[in-house]
Amino acid sequence: MVKFCTKTCLFILPKTSYCQLQTQSFIPFSVRQEQKILESRLVSVLHGCTHINQVKQVHAHIFRKGLEQCCFVLAKLLRTLTKLDVPMDPYPRLVFQQVEYPNPFLWTALIRGYALQGPFMESVLLYNSMRRQGIGPVSFTFTALLKACSAALDVNLGRQVHTQTILIGGFGSDLYVGNTLIDMYVKCGCLGCGHRVFDEMLDRDVISWTSLIVAYAKVGNMEAASELFDGLPMKDMVAWTAMVTGYAQNARPREALEVFERMQAAGVKTDEVTLVGVISACAQLGAAKYANWVRDVAEQSGFGPTSNVVVGSALIDMYAKCGSVEDAYKVFERMEERNVYSYSSMIVGFAMHGLAGAAMELFDEMLKTEIKPNRVTFIGVLTACSHAGMVEQGQQLFAMMEECHGVAPSEDHYACMVDLLGRAGRLEEALNLVKMMPMNPHGGVWGALLGACRIHGNPDMAQIAASHLFELEPNGIGNYILLSNIYASAGRWDDVSKVRKLMRAKGLKKNPGCSWVEGKKGIIHEFFAGDMSHPKSREIKQALEDLLDRLKYLGYQPNLSSVAYDISDEEKKRLLMSHSEKLALAFGLLTTNAGCTIRIVKNLRICEDCHSVMCGASQITGREIVVRDNMRFHHFRDGRCSCGNFW
C-alpha cells in the first residue's frame, strides 16, 4: 500500500474520478511529497532540454521511475517537444497514446502542439475526441485552439471556439483566453471583433492593450493606436516598443523617435527589439546625425552591433540608407556573427551606392560560408549588375539562382532583369522577357520597363508599359508623371496633355518636389521647388546663380528637355533654377565649410539637369556631394557620379 503510485491509481480509477485523483488524498503524505518532488525535478530538467535526444533520455528515466502514466510530467514533455519544433508525428503523438487516461492538461499539450505546427485541424479533431470522452477543457485548451484558428486564418472556426469559451465553464472571463481571442480576431483580419472582445473583457492587462495597439499599427491607424496607448495605465517595454515600431513601419520616423525619447524619459529599459524600430526610423530619415546617435544608444543599452546580429544588420541598412556605405561596411566587418540579413543588407547597400564590384565580391564571399543566399540577396546582386551595366553577369546569376541556390525567381527578380536589359538599351529583349514570365507581371516589372523607356527615349514602348501600370496601380502618380515626361522629351505635347487630363480625371496631384540638407549643427533644412520662404533665400538664389555662371563657363547648358511643360525656353530655365535639390545644394555650399560633404535627400527622382549641375559643382568646388533621391544614392566627386549617369 505504501508503494501506491499514480500509475496504479489511474488503472483502478474510473475516468470520471479524475478530480479525486488530482487530490490524491488517499496516498500517504510522505510518499506524496516525495513523488511531487521527483515530478517537479523532472519538469525542471525538461525545461532545460535543448535537444530531442535529451528529452528522450528524460523519457527513459520517467519509465524507470514508473511515472509513464503521470500526466503532469508528460504534459511538460510534450510542451518541450513542441518548443523544440519536433514534429507531432510520430514521437509526441506516441507519448500521448501510451497514456491510458490522459488528463485535460495532457490533451491540451497535444492540441497545442498541432496548433503551433499544423495540421491545424488536428487540434480541433483532438478537442472533439476529448469532449466525447467526457473530459472538460481547461483555459489552456482554448488558448491552444485559438492559436490554431489564427494560424489557419479561419475566423469562422475562431467564432465557434469563442462561443465554446462562453458556454463551457465560463472561460470567457479568463484573462488569457480574452487576450488570445483578441489576437485571433486581429490575425484573421477582424480588428473590430478584437476590439469588441477587449471592450467586453472584465479584466485586462498590458498584453490586452498591446495586442490591440499592434493591430491598429499594422493597419496603419496610428491615431487609434496612440489613443489606446495613452489610455494604458501600465506601459511596459513591449507596449512602448509597439508604438515605436508602429510609427517606423508606417513611414512616420519622426514620431517613432519622439515616442522613443518619451520612453527613455519614462525610465523604461530598451532592448534589441526597441532598437530595431528606432534604427529603422533613423534609416528612413537618412540623416547622419541620427545614425551616430542611435548607434551610441545601442552600445549603451548593451545591444551593440558587434555582439547582436539583428541590431548589427539593421545598422548596416541604416548607414547605407544614410549615405555612408563606409560606416555600413565598418559595422559589417566588426560583427562577430553574421547571417543572411547582414550579408543581404550589405550587398543591397553596395548596390544602392553604385558599388557593383563590392557587391559581387561580397556575394562570392558569402557563398564560401554556410549562409545561403535568399531572394533579397539575389535582388541585391541583380540590381548591382543592373546599375553597372553588367548584363551578362546578371543573366548568369538569374539563370543559376534556382538550380544552384534553390531560390526560384519571383516577379521581383524578373523586374530586376527587365531593369538590367532595359537600362542597357535592350528594350525589345526586356519586353520579350516580360511576355515569357511564368507568372503575371506586377507593377515593378512594368515600372522597370517604363523607367528604361525614359532613359532611352522610347515613347511607344512606354505607352505599352504605362497602360499595364495604369491598370495595376491606378493611383500611382509616379507612372503618369514618367509617361508624361517621356512624351515631353519626345516633343509629343498632345500626348502629354492627354496624360495630364487622365491624371486630373482621377483626381491625382503631383507631389511637390522637396529636398532636405543638413546644415550647421546638424539642423535639417527643407526646400520645396520654387520655395523662397527660407530666411536666406536671397543669398541662396545669388549663390546658385554664381554657381551656374561658373558652370556655363565650362560648357554647361540647361537641359530644357527635363521640363515637362510646353512653355517658352526662358520659362523652362526659370523652372529648372527653382528645383528643390539645387536650392539645397546652394544652401549647403553657402553654409558648410570647404571640404565638408554635402548630403541632400530628395523625395522624388533627381532630374537630368540637376544631375549635371551636381556633377559640375563637385568638380569646380572640390566638394563631395551625396544625393539620395527616391531611388538610390548618387555620389558626385570630381565631376562624376557613382551612378555612371544611369538612374
Partner DNA sequence: GTAGGGTTAG
Q: Is 374 in the site for DNA (CB under 7 A)?
A: yes
Q: Is 210 in the site for DNA (CB under 7 A)?
A: yes
Q: Candidates 239-247, 363-371, 570-578, 612-620 — which segment interacts with DNA by CB under 7 A?
A: 239-247
Pick the closest to residue 207 from 181, 226, 189, 246 (CA basis).
181
Judge contact between 158 and 187, C-beta under 8 A: no
Q: Which residues contact 218 (CB under 8 A, 6 or more apart)?
A: 186, 246, 249
Q: Candidates 137-145, 362-370, 389-397, 572-580 — which segment interacts with DNA by CB under 7 A?
A: 137-145
Q: 237-249 vs 272-285: helix axis angle to the nearest 10?
A: 20
Judge contact between 250 and 221, C-beta under 8 A: no
Smallest distance, DNA to C-beta of residue 430, A: 11
Smallest distance, DNA to C-beta of residue 264, A: 13
Residue number, 271 or 624, with CB nearest to DNA: 271
For residues 396 and 424, give the distance between their C-alpha atoms in angstroms, rounded to a whole number: 16
302: left (phi > 0), else alpha (psi -120 to 50), else beta? Answer: left
Q: Candidates 200-208, 511-519, 582-590, 608-616 — which segment interacts with DNA by CB under 7 A?
A: 200-208
Smallest distance, DNA to C-beta of residue 124, A: 17
Task: Select the residue interacting with DNA from 226, 377, 489, 612 (CB under 7 A).
Answer: 377
Task: Select the residue interacting with DNA from 126, 188, 452, 625 (CB under 7 A).
Answer: 452
Q: Is 236 in the site for DNA (CB under 7 A)?
A: yes
Task: Select the residue interacting with DNA from 148, 177, 356, 583 (CB under 7 A).
Answer: 177
- Residue 601's H or E segment, with its range, is strand 598-602
Q: Characterize the bridge pairing of strands 514-518 and 524-528.
A: antiparallel
| Peptide bond before residue 233 is cis, with ω within 30 degrees of 0 | no
**Residue with grid cell 566587418, as numbered in its chain:** 333
Coil, helix or strand for 519?
A: coil
For residues 327 and 350, give the distance between their C-alpha atoms in angstroms, rounded to a whole number: 12
| Binding track, positions 28-57, relative to DNA; x by CB under 7 A | ------------------------------
Task: Select the residue interacting with DNA from 135, 207, 551, 589 (CB under 7 A).
Answer: 207
Of residues 155 through 174, those in contact with DNA by CB under 7 A are: 174
Amino acid residing at 388 = A
Q: Is 446 in the site for DNA (CB under 7 A)?
A: yes
Smallest distance, DNA to C-beta of residue 179, A: 3
Smallest distance, DNA to C-beta of residue 491, A: 23
For residues 140 and 270, give the distance between their C-alpha atoms in angstroms, rounded to a whole number: 31
Smallest distance, DNA to C-beta of residue 34, A: 25
Q: Is 105 in the site for DNA (CB under 7 A)?
A: no
Q: How many CA atoms lie within 13 A of 225 on its CB side?
A: 25
Task: Select the residue interacting with DNA from 476, 519, 530, 639 (CB under 7 A).
Answer: 476
Q: Given CA atoms 541, 546, 548, 549 in this order, what sign does their dihedral have? A: positive
Copy the grid coordinates of residue 448. Answer: 522597370
Q: Is 327 in the site for DNA (CB under 7 A)?
A: no
Task: Select the residue interacting with DNA from 415, 430, 488, 496 (CB under 7 A).
Answer: 415
Pick the closest to residue 219 from 180, 181, 257, 185 (CA basis).
185
Residue number, 4 or 105, with CB nearest to DNA: 105
Judge contact between 298 and 311, C-beta under 8 A: yes
Of residues 244 through 283, those in contact with DNA by CB under 7 A are: 245, 248-249, 271-274, 276-277, 280
**151-157 long-range contacts, Cβ below 8 Å, gap at least 24?**
151/115, 151/116, 151/118, 151/120, 152/120, 152/121, 153/187, 153/188, 153/189, 154/120, 154/188, 155/184, 155/185, 155/188, 155/189, 155/190, 155/193, 157/124
Q: Which residues contact 633 (CB under 8 A, 6 or more apart)?
A: 323, 325, 352, 353, 354, 626, 627, 642
251: left (phi > 0), else alpha (psi -120 to 50), else beta? Answer: left
Q: Candidates 19-27, 123-131, 209-217, 286-294 — which segment interacts with DNA by CB under 7 A?
A: 209-217
Task: Select the residue interacting with DNA from 193, 257, 294, 469 (CB under 7 A).
Answer: 469
Task: Select the residue interacting with DNA from 6, 479, 484, 642 (CB under 7 A).
Answer: 479
Copy the grid coordinates of residue 161. Answer: 471556439
| Binding track, positions 301-320, relative to DNA; x by CB under 7 A | -------xxxxxxx--x---
Task: Select the residue interacting with DNA from 386, 591, 618, 642 (CB under 7 A).
Answer: 386
For the sheet containing 640-641, what is the strand order?
524-528, 514-518, 598-602, 625-628, 633-637, 640-641
Smallest distance, DNA to C-beta of residue 416, A: 6
Task: Select the residue interacting with DNA from 35, 179, 458, 562 (CB under 7 A).
Answer: 179
For residues 639 and 607, give the distance between their C-alpha atoms in angstroms, rounded to a whole number: 17
Q: Is 603 in the site for DNA (CB under 7 A)?
A: no
Smallest distance, DNA to C-beta of residue 240, A: 8
Q: Candidates 392-400, 469-477, 523-531, 612-620 — which segment interacts with DNA by CB under 7 A?
A: 469-477
Q: Given CA atoms 86, 89, 92, 94 in this order, what sign does their dihedral have? A: negative
Task: Select the residue interacting with DNA from 6, 35, 143, 642 (CB under 7 A).
Answer: 143
Measure CA 170 to chain center. 39
Q: Is 578 in the site for DNA (CB under 7 A)?
A: no
Q: Is 205 in the site for DNA (CB under 7 A)?
A: yes
Residue number, 423 or 525, with CB nearest to DNA: 423
Q: Candidates 90-98, 254-262, 411-419, 543-551 — which segment interacts with DNA by CB under 7 A?
A: 411-419
Q: Candidates 11-19, 65-73, 381-389, 531-539 — which segment interacts with DNA by CB under 7 A?
A: 381-389
Q: Candidates 189-197, 241-249, 507-515, 518-526 — which segment interacts with DNA by CB under 7 A?
A: 241-249
Judge contact between 260 and 278, C-beta under 8 A: yes
| Binding track, positions 502-521, relative to DNA; x by CB under 7 A | --------------------
Q: What are phi and psi of 526, to 5 degrees?
A: -115, 135
Smallest distance, DNA to C-beta of residue 334, A: 14
Q: Is 194 in the site for DNA (CB under 7 A)?
A: no
Task: Select the residue interacting with DNA from 35, 103, 123, 345 (CB under 7 A).
Answer: 345
Of residues 61 through 90, those in contact with DNA by CB under 7 A are: 79
Task: Select the residue interacting with DNA from 117, 226, 342, 485 (CB under 7 A).
Answer: 342
Task: Select the residue interacting with DNA from 71, 74, 191, 214 (CB under 7 A).
Answer: 214
For residues 45 and 54, give the distance between their C-alpha atoms in angstroms, rounded to a whole number: 9
Q: Which residues contact 96 (CB under 8 A, 6 or more apart)?
A: 74, 78, 102, 106, 109, 110
Q: Count residues binding DNA (CB under 7 A).
A: 80
Q: Is 443 in the site for DNA (CB under 7 A)?
A: yes
Q: Is 376 in the site for DNA (CB under 7 A)?
A: yes
| Peptide bond before residue 119 is cis, with ω within 30 degrees of 0 | yes
Q: Is 324 in the site for DNA (CB under 7 A)?
A: no
Q: Is 458 in the site for DNA (CB under 7 A)?
A: no
